[in-house]
């Protein structure tokens, strides 16, 4: 039993390392928005849906495409669709087969290459709030129950998570759809005063490719991660923090949160702790609740309420990362070997994915930029 446990620890560390490597790669591809990829990771590890909301051209679809490109493999295809007011249910779950109607007198959909396809475990749906009428009703059923009706039978789907994006907030008739997204984030253009991220964005690759040498993570790896996440402890001290937050929001209509959402937040917190290589949820993990408490209009209030958890210990922790990175940087700077410099760049990029503060991340990325410039000479 001990050997099996050690093997499991080794395997889950490998899975976590692969996921973190993909997140690290997002810094090159989704410049300034890598935290959104982290949100999609949490969504995947909890079998929940997630949505990005923001103006056209702020790379919402690019962020989702980056993550889902690392999920698809031979056993799992990612369904993709862009909805409009004219979209019908067929755009999501397939057209009816006229032959089945003629020969058997039943309405049977052709599910191949739809989100109801048995090979489909994840879906990317753009402009989801454009859906109307029967398409909207079908969406609610799929998001909530993960099933459809076909040929007079209710069919369970293999679909695990839907990743969506929208240029605008939902209308009232779309509230039922919006409620099914546990993870939500507002996306905007890069800050006008952030020269570093802006220049990196201009130089970044527009094509999703095999970033950092990882093509896919795969369903088996995700399943192993989820099994391991179940063992993460959620202490009473953190539960008390959730109670205090709920009490703090009482009477504020813009901060109303359903009991169901609080319950699912606990599952999310376990995944968040696991991603930072911990089997104990800590108060600092509560900052990620900004993706769960956001209702489309209360981003500033949510961030203000959770700011207290953002820098619990991270400054001291991050300084250790920076000091370690500085030693790697100085060693590489003293060398003329391109392989040593390239290896240092890779180490620094991975380290930048682990720090919690933007100041530490910026300091490490400046080392990366300096070494990258040396290699280019």
Give per-residue pLDDT as tens, 16-69.
888 888 887 777 778 888 789 999 999 999 999 999 999 999 889 989 998 998
**Mean pLDDT of the residues in the chain:** 86
- Do 297 and 337 sit in the same domain of this protein? no
pLDDT of residue 187: 92
Select the more confidently predicted residue: 257 or 203: 257
Domain count, the chain: 3
- Per-residue tokens: 227: 């099994």
pLDDT of residue 268: 97
Check pLDDT > 70 for residue 112. Answer: yes
pTM above 0.85, yes or no: no
Task: Give how far Cα 241 sits from Cα of 114, 285, 287, Å.
Answer: 42, 11, 12
Pairing of strands 120-126, 161-166: parallel
* Cα within 13 Å of Cα(8), Cβ side: 13
Q: What is the mean pLDDT of residues 237-244?
A: 92
User: What is the extent of the structural domain holding 155?
Assistant: 34-197+209-217
The CATH code of the domain that includes 239 is: 1.10.8
pLDDT of residue 19: 87
pLDDT in tens, 64-85: 998 998 887 777 889 999 999 8
- Do 102 and 152 sit in the same domain of this protein? yes
Q: What is the mean pLDDT of residues 105-127?
A: 89
pLDDT of residue 215: 60
pLDDT of residue 313: 63
Kindly state whether residue 15 falls inside one of the protein's structural domains.
no
Pairing of strands 77-82, 153-156: unpaired
- Do 258 and 360 sit in the same domain of this protein? no
Select the more confidently predicted residue: 37 or 7: 37
Q: What is the mean pLDDT of residues 123-146?
A: 90
pLDDT-based confidence at residue 4 (cuts at 50, 70, 90): very low
pLDDT-based confidence at residue 2 (cuts at 50, 70, 90): very low
- Do 81 and 193 sit in the same domain of this protein? yes
- Do 63 and 95 sit in the same domain of this protein? yes
pLDDT-based confidence at residue 3 (cuts at 50, 70, 90): very low
- Do 133 and 272 sit in the same domain of this protein? no
């Amino acid at each position: 039993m001990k050997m099996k446990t050690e093997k499991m620890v080794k395997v889950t560390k490998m899975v976590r390392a692969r996921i973190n490597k993909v997140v690290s790669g997002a810094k090159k591809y989704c410049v300034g928005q890598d935290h959104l990829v982290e949100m999609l990771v949490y969504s995947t590890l909890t079998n929940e849906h997630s949505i990005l909301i923001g103006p056209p051209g702020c790379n919402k679809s690019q962020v989702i495409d980056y993550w889902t490109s690392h999920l698809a493999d031979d056993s799992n295809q990612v369904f993709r669709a862009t909805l409009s007011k004219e979209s019908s249910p067929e755009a999501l779950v397939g057209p009816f087969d006229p032959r089945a109607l003629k020969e058997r007198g039943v309405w049977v959909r052709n599910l191949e290459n739809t989100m109801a396809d048995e090979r489909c475990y994840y879906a990317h749906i753009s402009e989801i709030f454009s859906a109307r009428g029967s398409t909207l009703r079908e969406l609610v059923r799929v998001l909530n129950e993960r099933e459809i009706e076909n040929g007079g039978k209710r069919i369970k789907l293999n679909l695990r998570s839907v990743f969506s994006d929208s240029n605008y907030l939902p209308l009232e008739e779309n509230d039922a759809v919006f409620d099914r997204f546990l993870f939500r984030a507002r996306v905007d253009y890069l800050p006008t005063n952030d020269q570093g991220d802006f220049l990196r964005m201009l130089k970044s690759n527009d094509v999703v490719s095999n970033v950092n040498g990882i093509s896919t993570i795969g369903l088996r790896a995700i399943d192993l991660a989820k099994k391991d996440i179940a063992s993460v402890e959620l202490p009473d001290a953190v539960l008390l923090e959730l109670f205090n937050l709920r009490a703090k929001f009482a009477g504020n209509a813009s901060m109303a949160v359903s009991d169901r959402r609080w319950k699912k937040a606990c599952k999310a917190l376990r995944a968040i702790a696991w991603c930072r290589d911990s089997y104990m949820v800590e108060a600092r993990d509560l900052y990620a609740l900004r993706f769960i408490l956001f209702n489309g209009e209360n981003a500033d209030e949510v961030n203000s309420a959770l700011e207290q958890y953002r820098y619990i210990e991270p400054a001291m922790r991050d300084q250790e990362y920076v000091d370690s990175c500085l030693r790697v940087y100085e060693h590489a700077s003293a060398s003329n070997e391109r392989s040593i410099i390239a290896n240092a760049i890779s180490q620094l990029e991975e380290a930048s994915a682990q720090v919690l503060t933007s100041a530490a991340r910026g300091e490490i990325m400046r080392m990366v930029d300096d070494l990258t410039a040396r290699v280019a000479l």
